[in-house]
Each structure stands twice: as structure tokens, then as C-alpha cells.
Amino acid sequence: MKEVKNVNVIGLTITGKTEDDRVVRSDNDSNINEENKMDTKKLEPIAFIFQLFSGILLAVFVASHIYITHLNEEALKYESVVERLSNSTIKVIYFLFLVIVCFHAFNGLRAILLDTNFGKRNARMVNLLCLIISIVSILYGATLLISF
């Protein structure tokens, strides 16, 4: 297999070793609105790095979450869930978990949408929409957390 040195990852051209045989996404698509393209590229390196590191954190968070909630039958009981959510330390951990998972999920969605022709033509709208969904999800989850 040949080594790909320059590939486009979530709209960002990465120079270096990376996945082989990825679905190729072209920066030269004639339909791309150049203004939108430039607009989306400004924060892409930061979003990409955050996506990587939030992914690592989530692997730990999600594994722990599944383990704790499936440890025994009691773990899913109403009283146990409320007891966990009433603990301030756990509440803070869950809030961090919520922020990280929402960022990772909706930044991932954004990356996928920006890879489509629709996303390339409407990059600004896609970015805004994913940001709004992300903020709404965080606020919604946070109100749930503070209600205990």
C-alpha cells in the first residue's frame, strides 16, 4: 500500500503520515464556495486536535460509565442513579463528560457533513447548526444535572 503524505481530514489538509486509502475528499471541488471554504479553515486545526484528544478522554469516560451503570442490577435503579447524580464530585465529572461528548459528537457530525457536496456549499450553515446543537445539548444535559 502506498503511503499518503497529504490527505484531507475533516476539511483540513494534514501533512504527514496518516490513514491509507481514505475516501478522498477534494479541496478543488468547483462547487465549493471559496469564501465559505476559507471561513471554515480558520479553526480547523484546533477542532481537529480537540477531536483527537476528546476522543481519548471519551474512551476512558464511556468505558467507566458503561462499567458503572452495568456493574449490577442495583446500578440502574432510580435510587442509585439519583444518589450518583446528587454527589457533587460525580456531578462535575458528568458535566465534563457531557461537554466533551457533545463537542466530539457534533464536531464529528460537522466533519462528515462538510465532506458532502451539500456541506461544502453550505459550510457556514453547517458550522453554525452543529455549534447550536452542541450548545443546546450541553445546556439541556446541564439542567438535568443541576436538578439533582
Partner 1 sequence: MLVDWFRIKGRSLHSLAFSFHRLTGIVLMIYLILHLTYLTSLRFGKESYEYLISLTVRPETLPFDLLLLLATVFHGVNGIRLVIHELGFVYEKRNLILYLTFGIVLIVWLYAGYLMFLLIMG
Count each helix (H run) and each strand (E run) in the chain, helices first: 6, 2
**21 belongs to the binding site for partner 1 (CB under 8 A):** yes
Specify the 3-state DSSP secondary structure of 101: helix
Q: How far apart are CA 94 and CA 65, in angstroms?
A: 9
13, 64, 86, 116: which one contacts partner 1 (CB under 8 A)? 116
**18 belongs to the binding site for partner 1 (CB under 8 A):** yes
DSSP 104-146: HHHHHHHHHHHTSHHHHHTHHHHHHHHHHHHHHHHHHHHHHHH
The interface mask with partner 1, positions 48-87, x = CB under 8 A, is ----x--xx-xx--xx--x---x-xx--xxxx-xx--x--
Helix (H) or strand (E) holding 75: none
106, 114, 126, 127: which one contacts partner 1 (CB under 8 A)? 106
**137 belongs to the binding site for partner 1 (CB under 8 A):** yes
**19 belongs to the binding site for partner 1 (CB under 8 A):** yes
**147 belongs to the binding site for partner 1 (CB under 8 A):** yes
46, 124, 125, 140: which one contacts partner 1 (CB under 8 A)? 140
